[in-house]
């Protein structure tokens, strides 16, 4: 972009030099002709009266050389004037760079011939200001999420410590009471473990800087394995998981990261499903794309919240109140992983049915891992 503006400015400067040189030549030639035609007899008499006989005599004897000297001197002065004016405008641009680096709303103003550069700098400045604002919001959300987690972690940890303390202090406790306390302490410990996982998700969120190693992966087998890990959670909510998978469907991916995508989406579906409902997972080959649909029955997600569901650290008010939501990173991480694999993840929600659709390029013959 800088080359584009500098090239245009060089062309404008050269054109200005040329125009002024031609104008000076035409003006000088016109003046000389007027003198020769109108004042040919009186010119040197007038000149002698102005600068003296000796100097007028020299000019008269060396007229061609004097004319050339005057013309060259005139061109030199014009060149100096144009370059000085150009340097002054360049220095003005340098002075305005301070405005480009700050985050204020003050617009950069440049000389008229730099209007295109001015518009571009103001556009870049506005984009930088918006990016800076976005980063500040993201940092604030991250801080808020850490604060939420720090607060939420205290409750299950205190419960675990409390119930274990009761068990230690009352060794002769009734077996039924002991069993109840152990079960409660175990459930709180699981909750504590989930919160710690969310904490690590926040602190190590950035995935874009890490290289991925893609290999041939049987997508259906991976989904089946991932789904099996949720058996205890499904039992707790009396949910049924229905799988509709083809025999084989290979993709080029990093298995661990793709498994994390489905882990996050299935976990989300379990969290927000109605009890005793069914979660459907279907995989099909559509135009050389592996399309995975994960559908669950639950409250319809409003359109305004559906647009933000993949935003980092986004937590709905309802989820925050109920305690169902984590740090708001699960789906954001899933979207980032899909971007790294040239895939997509989208969500739709209507009539108390939410569908997450994940697409990945199918491994074609001859592809290398």
- Residue whose entry in the numeric block shows the structure tokens 């007229």: 63
Give pLDDT < 70 ranges for the chain: 1-9, 36-49, 53, 56-62, 92-104, 111-114, 141-142, 144-155, 195, 197-211, 312-329, 364-369
Is-contact 219 290, C-beta < 8 A? yes
Task: Give the whole-angstrom CA distance, residue 33 versus residue 31.
Answer: 5
CB 188 within 8 A of CB 156: yes
Residue 250: CB partners within 8 Å, gap ≥ 6?
216, 217, 218, 219, 362, 363
Burial class (CB in 10 A: 0-12, 13-18, 19+), 264: buried
- Spatial CA neighbour of 132 closest among 168, 172, 103, 167: 103
Q: Which residues pair with 346 in a beta bridge?
A: 357
CA distance linking residue 128 with residue 146, whole number of Å = 27
- Residue 198: phi and psi, rounded to 5, are -65, -40
CA angle 262, 327, 238 (to 5 degrees): 55
DSSP 362: B
Residue 236 to residue 270: CA distance in whole angstroms: 10
**Residue among 305, 318, 313 nearest 330 (CA):** 313
Residue 86, number of CB atoms within 10 A of its CB: 17
At 354, phi and psi to the nearest 5?
A: -115, 130
Predicted local confidence at residue 360, as pLDDT: 92
Instruction: Express each pLDDT in 175-206 by its tens digit.
Output: 888 888 888 888 778 777 776 766 666 665 55
User: For residue 322, what pLDDT is reported?
Assistant: 44
Dihedral sign for Cα atoms in the order 248, 254, 258, 260: positive
Determine what percent of the chain is predicted with pLDDT higher than 90.
17
| Start-to-end Cα distance in the chain | 38
Q: Pairing state of beta strands 240-244 and 215-218?
A: unpaired
CA atoms within 13 A on the CB side of 126: 8
Distance between CA atoms of residues 357 and 310, nearest Å: 13
pLDDT for res 67: 73
Q: Which of 131, 122, 135, 184 is nearest to 155 (CA)?
A: 184
In the chain, which ranges are E strands? 215-218, 240-244, 250-253, 278-286, 289-297, 344-350, 353-361
Question: Where is 65: in which H helix or E strand?
Answer: helix 63-101
The confidence score (pLDDT) of residue 12 equals: 73
pTM value is: 0.51
In 3D space, the residue among 42, 39, 66, 70 whose CA is nearest the CA of residue 55 turns out to be 66
């Amino acid at each position: 972009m800088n080359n584009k503006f500098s090239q245009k400015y060089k062309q404008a400067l050269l054109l200005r030099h040329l125009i002024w040189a031609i104008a000076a030549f035409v003006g000088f030639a016109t003046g000389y002709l007027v003198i020769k035609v109108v004042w040919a007899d009186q010119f040197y008499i007038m000149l002698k009266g102005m600068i003296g006989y000796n100097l007028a005599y020299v000019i008269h004897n060396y007229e061609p050389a004097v004319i050339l000297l005057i013309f060259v001197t005139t061109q030199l002065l014009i060149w100096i004037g144009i370059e000085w004016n150009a340097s002054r405008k360049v220095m003005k641009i340098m002075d305005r760079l301070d405005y480009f680096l700050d985050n204020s709303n003050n617009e950069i103003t440049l000389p008229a011939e730099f209007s295109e550069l001015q518009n571009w700098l103001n556009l870049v400045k506005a984009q930088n200001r918006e990016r800076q604002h976005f980063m500040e919001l993201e940092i604030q959300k991250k801080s808020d999420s850490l604060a939420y987690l720090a607060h939420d972690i205290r409750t299950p940890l205190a419960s675990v410590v409390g119930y274990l303390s009761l068990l230690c202090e009352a060794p002769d406790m009734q077996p039924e009471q002991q069993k109840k306390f152990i079960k409660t302490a175990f459930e709180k410990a699981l909750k504590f473990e989930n919160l710690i996982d969310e904490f690590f998700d926040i602190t190590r969120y950035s995935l874009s800087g890490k290289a991925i190693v893609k290999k041939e992966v049987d997508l259906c087998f991976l989904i089946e394995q991932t789904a099996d890990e949720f058996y205890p959670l499904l039992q707790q909510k009396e949910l049924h998981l229905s799988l509709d998978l083809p025999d084989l469907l290979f993709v080029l991916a990093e298995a661990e990261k793709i498994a994390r995508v489905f882990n996050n989406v299935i976990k989300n579906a379990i969290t927000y499903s109605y009890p005793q409902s069914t979660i459907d997972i279907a995989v099909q080959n559509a135009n050389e794309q592996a399309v995975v649909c994960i559908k669950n029955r639950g409250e319809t997600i409003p359109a305004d919240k559906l647009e933000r569901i993949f935003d980092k650290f986004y937590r709905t008010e309802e989820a925050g109140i109920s305690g169902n939501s984590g740090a708001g990173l699960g789906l954001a991480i899933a979207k980032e992983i899909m971007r790294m694999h040239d895939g997509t993840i989208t969500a739709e929600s209507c009539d108390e049915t939410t569908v997450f659709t994940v697409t990945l390029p199918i491994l074609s013959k001859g592809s290398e891992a």
